[in-house]
Amino acid sequence: MKVVKQQLMKGLAFLLILSIFIGIPIYAKADYNTATNGGVVVVAFYVEGGRYYLVRPSTGKIVKDSNGVDMVRVLGDTVYSHGSGFFIGNENEAPQYLATNCHVVDDFLKANQGEQGILHTGQKETINFVNGSKEVCEWILYFSRCELRVYYDENDYEEAFVVDAGSADTAVNAKRDLAILKLNKPTTKRHPLKLHVATPEDIGKTVYTVGYPGNSDNALTSASKWGMEDVTVSKGSITRLAASSGTGVQTIQTDANILHGNSGGPLVDDQYGAVIGINTWFYSPDSQTQTNYSINVSELIEMLDKNNVPYEMAKLKGKFNPLFVIIPAAVVIVAVVVIIIAVNAKKGKNKKQIVGYDPTTGKPIYAAPQPQPQAPVQPQYQQPQAPAQPQYQQPQAPAQPQYQQPQAPAQPQYQQPQYQPPVQPQYQQPQATPAQQLYPGQPQYQPPIQPQYQQPQAPNGQQYQPPQQ
């Protein structure tokens, strides 16, 4: 049982590690995140008491029909034009500021920002007058009041005010065609989007244009449904980064569609899931081709900093892999089931078998446990060892003979002879001979023994030369 548990624990650990590697989010491309829709809104120019008058440019007077009645079209209270916008701010905070194109709010700026006014629509019509004259006239919009609105849905909106705006003189040569708007108070109906500055390394990456396309320049078009589920997303890629001619405004060229109503909406990349540009205009020389342009978010950041508007830059994110949760949970469940089965099987094996009952006590008599057969020991296959490769011994160069400096023959060492003083004769008291003993008194004189002087020998058989005096 212990071995079974150990094997199960090893298998469980292996599967957990494998599931972690499978479930780790991949930091590469992540498909369009629909949560982006929760940061996008419709920005609309709303008028009250709107009426179109056909005006004769030469006189500035209203053109009359054949019955002498002013040529007037009643517009009423409605949205005159609209575009898109997106909220910016700190993460996890209710946003109060949003960004869009300047040309989306340009009519509002020209209309005294709330007061009654007159707008040139640019719509022309050629009139043949009764007197035979012929002139191109223009429809002029008159309104009693106007306001700038941010729509969360068809009937859900708030009034917005312009904090800062650039210029929208022309489409291609727009000088920072951007505007920053502000609500009276932060809203919880949308969330802010993060920003990321596009660089040349981003060319070729997938991007999405997000917004509410429609015929925003058509004065007869009004709002329909502008909720989060109505956001239109168009997929493409970055084809070029450039600067607008004459202005130097940084732009992003893309093949993702930008249509009327997309203006002011975000251009979102699929790597960071952040806004890299503001969709601004398109150029179509024919019905077959179209080139689309967005203003690089770097231009917006400069305006935000100037007006102390909060925003947050994006960090690289990956798509969450649900297997990161599913696989570990499945592994744990399977492991628990296997352990329970193994434990129950062990209990079943250890259960004692009743073979009878003691007639005296009535207690059951159990069968003697049978020895469990042991599985034969599997031979351990020894991986044959490759024969040892002979080690090549680098031949040793023969030892160079060591030259022995010849030694000079040893000079004989002259031994100074040691002077031996002559042995002083020992005076012996003369002994009286027997005759003398008979006649004492007359000693016999014995001359002293003269010492024999030995000539010193020179070493090594050399003749000794006495020292010179």
Concatenated DSSP letters of 232-244 = EEEEEEEEEEEE-
Give me the pLDDT at residue 265, please: 94
| Whole-number Å distance between alpha carbons of 231 and 153 | 11
Q: Are residues 106 and 227 in the same domain?
A: yes
Q: Are residues 69 and 116 in the same domain?
A: yes
Q: Are residues 329 and 214 in the same domain?
A: no
Q: What is the pLDDT of residues 131-174, one digit of tens each?
A: 888 999 999 999 999 999 999 998 999 999 999 998 765 444 44
Lowest mean pLDDT among 37-41, 267-271, 460-464: 460-464
Q: Is residue 176 part of a domain?
A: yes
Q: Is residue 163 part of a domain?
A: yes
Q: Average of pLDDT values for 270-290?
A: 81
Q: Is residue 111 part of a domain?
A: yes
Q: Average per-residue pLDDT in the chain? A: 76
Alpha-carbon distance values, 7 to 1, 11, 19, 338, 346 (Å):
10, 6, 18, 11, 16
Residue 207 in tokens: 């991007």
| End residue of a domain, out of 349, 367, 402 | 349
Share of the chain above pLDDT 90, in %: 36
Residue with tokens 């002077």: 419
For residue 257, name the pLDDT band (cuts at 50, 70, 90): confident
Q: Is residue 334 part of a domain?
A: yes
Give me the number of domains the chain comprises.
Answer: 2
Lowest mean pLDDT among 118-127, 229-238, 407-416: 407-416
Q: Say if residue 77's pLDDT is above 70.
A: yes
Give me the pLDDT at residue 215, please: 45
Q: Average of pLDDT values for 247-260?
A: 84
Which 3 state secondary structure label does DSSP give 18?
A: helix
| Whole-number Å distance between alpha carbons of 8 and 336 | 10
Give me the pLDDT at residue 169, please: 56
Share of the chain above pLDDT 70, in %: 56
Domain enclosing residue 164, as ranges:
34-306
For residue 91, name the pLDDT band (cuts at 50, 70, 90): very high
Q: Average of pLDDT values for 68-87?
A: 94
Q: Are residues 17 and 78 in the same domain?
A: no
For residue 308, name the pLDDT band (cuts at 50, 70, 90): very high
Give me the pLDDT at residue 24, please: 46
Alpha helices of 401-451 — where are they, by DSSP H?
434-438
Q: Are residues 122 and 251 in the same domain?
A: yes
| Whole-number Å distance between alpha carbons of 371 and 187 | 78
Give me the pLDDT at residue 206, please: 93
Q: Average of pLDDT values for 360-383?
A: 65
Q: Are residues 328 and 204 in the same domain?
A: no
Q: What is the pLDDT of residues 314-326, one digit of tens each?
A: 986 554 445 455 6
| End residue of a domain, out of 251, 276, 306 | 306
Give me the pLDDT at residue 226, please: 87
Q: Are 275 and 210 in contact (CB under 8 A)?
A: no
Residue 298 in tokens: 């770097």
Q: Are residues 46 and 137 in the same domain?
A: yes
Q: Which residue has the higher pLDDT, 469 or 139?
A: 139
Q: Is residue 374 part of a domain?
A: no
Q: Is residue 203 part of a domain?
A: yes
Q: Are 84 and 263 in contact (CB under 8 A)?
A: yes
Q: Are residues 157 and 250 in the same domain?
A: yes
Q: Are residues 77 and 208 in the same domain?
A: yes
Q: Are residues 166 and 106 in the same domain?
A: yes
For residue 61, name the pLDDT band (cuts at 50, 70, 90): very high
Which 3 state secondary structure label does DSSP give 70?
A: strand
Q: Say if residue 272's pLDDT is above 50.
A: yes
**Closest to 267 in 3D by CA, of 216, 207, 356, 316:** 207
Q: Are residues 340 and 202 in the same domain?
A: no
**Closest to 352 in 3D by CA, of 369, 372, 334:** 369
Q: Say if residue 398's pLDDT is above 60.
A: no
Q: Are residues 146 and 17 in the same domain?
A: no
CATH of the domain at 252: 2.40.10.120
Give me the pLDDT at residue 137, please: 95
Give me the pLDDT at residue 216, please: 44
Q: Say if residue 99's pLDDT is above 60.
A: yes
Q: Say if residue 458's pLDDT is above 50.
A: yes
Residue 310 in tokens: 């909060």
Give me the pLDDT at residue 363, please: 72
Q: Is residue 14 part of a domain?
A: yes
H/E element holding 146? strand 145-153
| Whole-number Å distance between alpha carbons of 86 and 100 | 7
Q: Is residue 386 part of a domain?
A: no
